[in-house]
Structure formats: C-alpha cells, structure tokens
Structure 1
Amino acid sequence: MADGVVLPDERQSPGGNRGLTYPFPTPPGVGEAVTVAPGVLWLRLPLPMSLNHINVYALEDGEGWTLVDTGLNTPASIAAWEAALAGPLGGRPVRRVICTHMHPDHIGLAGWLCERFAVPLLMTRLEYVMARMLIADTGQPAPEDGATFYRAAGWNADQIAGYRKHFGGFGKGVRPLPTAFTRMVEGEVLTIGDGAWRVVIGEGHSPEHACLWREADDVLLGGDQILPRISSIVAVWPTEPAADPLGDWLASLQRMKTVFPETTLVLPSHGEPFTGVQTRLDALIRGHETGLTRLSRTLATPCRAVDVFSALFARSIDDSLLGMATGESLAHLNYLVRHGRAQVARDADGVDWWTTTSSSET
C-alpha cells in the first residue's frame, strides 16, 4: 500500500477541472483558517512530497471542535496544529476526531490528537482495520508474495530490491492509533454542533472512504473521493492482487451522481473548495474511461504492467512513482479482465503479459 494518495499530475483527461467554481481561491497559511461555511473552518497542513499539502477541517461542536483528518506525523504538521489550536481554534477543546480514510496524511496525527484531548476516533470499520494492519508491517521484512507481485508486473531486480528496502514505510508517518474507535456507517447522520452530517461511503481509492454531507446547506467534506484538479490513485497492491478497485471506484462515482446536487460546496483534502460536483464526477469517470480505451488499444500487442504507463499518465514515471503507477495500471488491467476485454498469462520467468480479447474495444 502506498503512503501517497495521488499521482501528482492530472490523468490524461483534457478539461478535467473545467466548469468548476472556486469561491475560496486563497488557501489558509500555516496556523491560519478560512471560514468556508457556517461553523466550518478550512486549515492546511504541509506534506513533504510533490503533493505538498493536505486540507483539514474544524467543525464547531458546541463549545469545542470536531476535527476532520489530521495530517502526517511530522514536526511541521504538529507545529501547524499547535498554531491553529492556539490561534483560529481559540484554545477551545477538541471533542472528537474523524478520519475520512486510512492513508497516512489523513490519520498520521489522529492518535496524538485523540490522546491529547482524551476524545474518540471516528472511522469506518474497514479503514480502521486496514490502517492497523498496515501499521503492523512497520519493521517487518518484505513478504515474498510482494516480490512475486512486482516481478509479475515487470519490475527488474533493482526495483524489487527497492521494494524490500522500503517495505513497512506506511507506519512511519503515523502515530499509534487509539486501540478503540467509533464506527461510522453508510447513511448514518452525525450531529455536530447544530448540523446534521450524513455519512456517504465511497470505494476504490480506499476500501470504505467516508464523506460527510450537510444536506441542509449542501456542504460536503469530500476527503480524497472528489478532488478538483487531480484524480485520486486507484490501485491494486500485493495484499489483494486480483482486486478490482477501479470497478468499485467507478460504481461509487456513479452512485454519488445520484446523491449530490451540482450546487454542493465540496471541501476536498487537496486543492481548493469548489462547486460543480456533477461536472467533476463526470470528468473523473470520463478520464478513466478514456484511459481504458487507450489501454485496450495498447494491449493489441502483449504488454507487461510497466509497459502501459504512457496509455494512462500524462507524464514520465520514475522510480519514485513506480509503485503507485504500477498499482494504478494493474487496477485498469484487472478491470479489463473482469469485463472480458483483456486476458493475462504468466510466462516461465513469472512475468504477466496482458493482451486484448476479441470483445475488447478498439
């Protein structure tokens, strides 16, 4: 499982963020906050990577705050929280911490905040359990199944050695999570202050990603489910090599088209708040469909997973992005197999070769 959340580059889908409106184009500085809706503050924490920030949100909750997502466990994030807690949050107590999903930039400081304020952590069950599982890999040797997985994708010996070296890195950016949590489920309504926030679950980017929608004034805490300028990574990882996360992702996006009106104010985890959610959902779906069509054409000649990057990404892929790009390519390849549009065969060297079927689009 990668500890990044997106390939830091728009997938090959022209006009992917056209038709959106950004009512708050200037993000808050470190230790600052912007009021984006009644009782909702937007804060931004630094990330030490090309995607250099995560947005987190503070919701007024009586005399205190409910926090949504937490940033990585880094000194810079802790300093930013200290400044925000003493500054725009006014020294008022935190009442609970909500994490939309289990990626380290979202849960990294959940344990620190929950312990500091003696408050509960709210997550969906699959996200909490998956996070605990991946954190347990810290300090463990890389499993041979992982090496087999990446060899099949076309990685060379040096790249597999890099996988072994960096295995278990997920937990390095995460404080120990609370050993108990409060489960959120699809359709549940959370009362936070004077607001009623409905839990809307998405799949594909992570197993059970929670969005929070305040229907009364159409404000959506979208996490990584609906980002304005980049497409969240949808990837296959060694723990479940035959998974179809792209099928889950596209089904989630289609379902969300039946839920959120175009006027909804989306508060994303990366980028700026925006309106035009139906437009953006269409663009995200179209981007993957375009990639699948291009990929089907590429597979007219047998390919390994590492051979199809140019069909899916509008940039070159170096070793720093190799794991995410491989995972995303495999998600698209598995989707084509699931839908009878491609087939795969493993050769004597343990490498998978993918080709189109006669029923595939050309």
Structure 2
Amino acid sequence: MADGVLTAETGEGGSGTRGLTYPFGDAPGFGEAVTVAPGVLWMRLSMPISLNHINVYAIEDGAGWVLIDTGLNIPDSRERWEAMLAGPLGGRPVTRVICTHMHPDHIGLAGWLCERFGVALTMTRLEYVTGRMLLADTGQPAPESGALHYRAAGWDAAQIETYRREFGQFGRAVAPLPAGYVRMREGDRLSIGGHDWRVVIGEGHSPEHACLWRETDGVVLGGDQILPRISSNVSVWPTEPDADPLGDWLDSLERMKGILPHDGLILPSHGEPFQGVQARLDALIRGHRTALKRLEKTLRQPKRAVDVFGALFARPVGDGVRGMATGEAIAHLNYLLQRGRVSRTRDADGVDWWTMIEQGEAA
C-alpha cells in the first residue's frame, strides 16, 4: 500500500531495538482491549498486507471515549469495531475521533465513525487536506508527470503501466472524510478525560504527523513516528519530486529527543507498546545515517534509484512495495543531492543517474 508503512528495514533503524522494554504481554485479540495506562485501552485491527495489523487506542473521556486512529475501510475492520464498541468500550459513546495522520490504515474509518456518533474529526491541517486531495484522485487517470517520475527512477514500461492502472486507489480503503474538521497543531493541548495531551508534530513519514503526549505520566501516542521494530517509510512522491522528507524526518527525530521523557511509555501504531524512547530515536537516526553512508559508497559508479535498493533495504523489494521502496530511495538520494554530496544527470531516455561527488570536486 503506497500510503502506509514500508516494513522493509532501513539500515539499522528497523532492527535497533536494544534498550527497549515491552511491559505488556500478548496483543489484544478480536474484540478485546488491554489497559496500558490509566484510562487508555490498546486495541488492534487486522490489515490484509504484510504489515498485518494496526494498533488503535481509546481514551476515557467522561462518560465516553476518544478514539485514536481507525483502521482501513474494510469489512473486517468494521466487524472488529462493532465487537470493541459493544465489548471493552461498553457501549459508551464516542466523543471525538483523532487521527495521527492521513494514511489509509489511520483514517480509513474516520468518516464512518464520525458520522455514526455525530462527532468531529481532529487532525492537523496538512494531514486533513492531503487526505482530502488523495480522495479526490480516486478513480482519476494517472497524470503523465507521475509516469515521467517513475521513468526517471528506472522503472520499465510494464512497471509504469502498473502505476497507471493502480493510480487513484486511495479511496478504496478510506471512507469519505467529514466535510470539516477540528485542527490541532504543534504545542496544542487537548483536554481528554480531565488530562491535557500535548501535540508534538513530526514530519517526513507524512506532512504533519501528530503525536500526543500526556505529560502528567509520560504516555505518548506515537502513531507511525516512533515504531519499535520497523522504520516508517519516508518517501518522495511524484507530487513533489524535489522534496527532502528524509531531512524533515531526521530533524523531527532529533527534536523529539529533546522533548519526550526518557521513561515515557510509547503507544505505537504498529508493534507493541514499549519504553526506551531515547534509545529508539537514536537507533532510527543511526539507521538512516548508516544507510546514507552505504548509499554514497554504492554511488561511486552512476546508479538509478532502482539500483540502490540493496544499499537501503534488508530484504529484496517485490512488486507490492516497489512504489514505497522507490520513494524511499529517492528520499535518500534527494537528501544527499541537497547537501552537495551527489550529482544527478538525466539521460536522453529520461532516466536519472546519480553519482557521488568526491570531496575535492565538491570544494
């Protein structure tokens, strides 16, 4: 799924789990919930892809619940929500729906839940607007600029045809979003159940990803910004081919190191709740730094974006994740390009070739 998480590990970032502890046992099953902090329930929905689940959370809010993320708009997720609403959530009303960001596994059922309970959707502005934009692409033909983008990356004609055929499928996994929303932004404090949750924004994986931090006890709803076992996909897409999301991502991780509590409990969207956020942030940063060094070595000879997968990913890249892998490869290449460490040359066939710049050349 092009709008989700790439489960291929990037450098050491995906596997850098030393220093983490997991205070809870088995993940909740169908219709179940696990209390992970006062007033906070951990629940899980399935997904029909290699990353086979998403964690969702409910926070007590007076007589009802605030829901954090919603899962894909698929029958199985709706059935699981019905079981959870009637079971561990006790038939109590939903007072608000909050989505950390706009990827389908997070907003897929936001519209359905908001309509059902007559409540507002709370998101950051860029996430809401980007989600609405992608929904508007549903069923539309692929733009030629997208085909040229993937041609430049080294895709062949058959792969570009697959891109054309699969373009605009965002809406297949996302119910229509509410026509309006409540904005949250960096530094806001959301009052839920008598406690303030501070909004901490990250960039790179998505435009304006929101984490929520209950400062009174160090509980952090981390979304996809801080995952315990895998590194979130950081990609360049055809809509902004010269973007530097990896720079945004690394800056966000460094900033969070100075903000989040060392002993906090991180509630991620994938994997298990964990402690050891500083170690994990260090590992994610180190993983990308290591990958960049490997990438520079690979670029001693000119390479296309599709030629550098081996320097970035711990396992072969199949057709199902080719778009995300290409996006992540270009993100690393753009990072080096914008810092004067590589050059890019487009040949007569419209293919980009990337080459490391030796220090003497750069000077």
What's the TM-score, normalizing by structure 1?
A: 0.98
Aligned counterparts of 1:223 and 1:167: Cα–Cα separation in 2? 26
Aligned counterparts of 1:214 and 1:126: Cα–Cα separation in 2? 23
* AA matched with 2:126: L
1:12, distance to aligned residue in structure 2 (A): 2.7
The match for 1:237 is 237
The match for 2:51 is 51
**1:127 and 2:127 equivalent?**
yes
* AA matched with 1:53: H
Aligned counterparts of 1:183 and 1:11: Cα–Cα separation in 2? 32
Alignment of 1:214-225 (within 5 A): 214-225=214-225
Aligned counterparts of 2:227 and 2:317: Cα–Cα separation in 1? 22
* AA matched with 1:301: Q
Alignment of 1:1-362 (within 5 A): 2-5=2-5, 7-13=6-12, 15-359=15-359
- The answer on whether the counterparts of 1:111 and 1:175 sit within 8 Å (CA) in structure 2 is yes
- The answer on whether the counterparts of 1:340 and 1:360 sit within 8 Å (CA) in structure 2 is no
* AA matched with 2:144: E
Aligned counterparts of 1:8 and 1:257: Cα–Cα separation in 2? 23
- The answer on whether the counterparts of 1:222 and 1:268 sit within 8 Å (CA) in structure 2 is yes
Aligned counterparts of 1:230 and 1:127: Cα–Cα separation in 2? 22
1:190, distance to aligned residue in structure 2 (A): 0.5
- The answer on whether the counterparts of 1:58 and 1:66 sit within 8 Å (CA) in structure 2 is yes
Aligned counterparts of 1:290 and 1:244: Cα–Cα separation in 2? 18
Per-residue CA deviations over 1:150-185 (Å, capped at 9, x if unaligned) read: 000000000000000000011110000000000001
Aligned counterparts of 1:2 and 1:359: Cα–Cα separation in 2? 36
Aligned counterparts of 1:139 and 1:214: Cα–Cα separation in 2? 40
Aligned counterparts of 1:359 and 1:31: Cα–Cα separation in 2? 58
- The answer on whether the counterparts of 1:23 and 1:273 sit within 8 Å (CA) in structure 2 is yes
* AA matched with 2:9: E
What's the TM-score, normalizing by structure 2?
A: 0.98
- The answer on whether the counterparts of 1:296 and 1:360 sit within 8 Å (CA) in structure 2 is no
Per-residue CA deviations over 1:30-74 (Å, capped at 9, x if unaligned) read: 110000000000000000100000000000000000000000000
Per-residue CA deviations over 1:268-292 (Å, capped at 9, x if unaligned) read: 0000000000000000000000000
* AA matched with 1:20: L
* AA matched with 1:133: M
- The answer on whether the counterparts of 1:221 and 1:268 sit within 8 Å (CA) in structure 2 is yes
* AA matched with 1:347: D
Question: Paired residues, what number?
Answer: 360
| Deviant stretches of 4+, over 2 Å | 9-12
Identity %: 71
* AA matched with 2:142: A
Aligned counterparts of 2:184 and 2:137: Cα–Cα separation in 1? 25
- The answer on whether the counterparts of 1:12 and 1:312 sit within 8 Å (CA) in structure 2 is yes
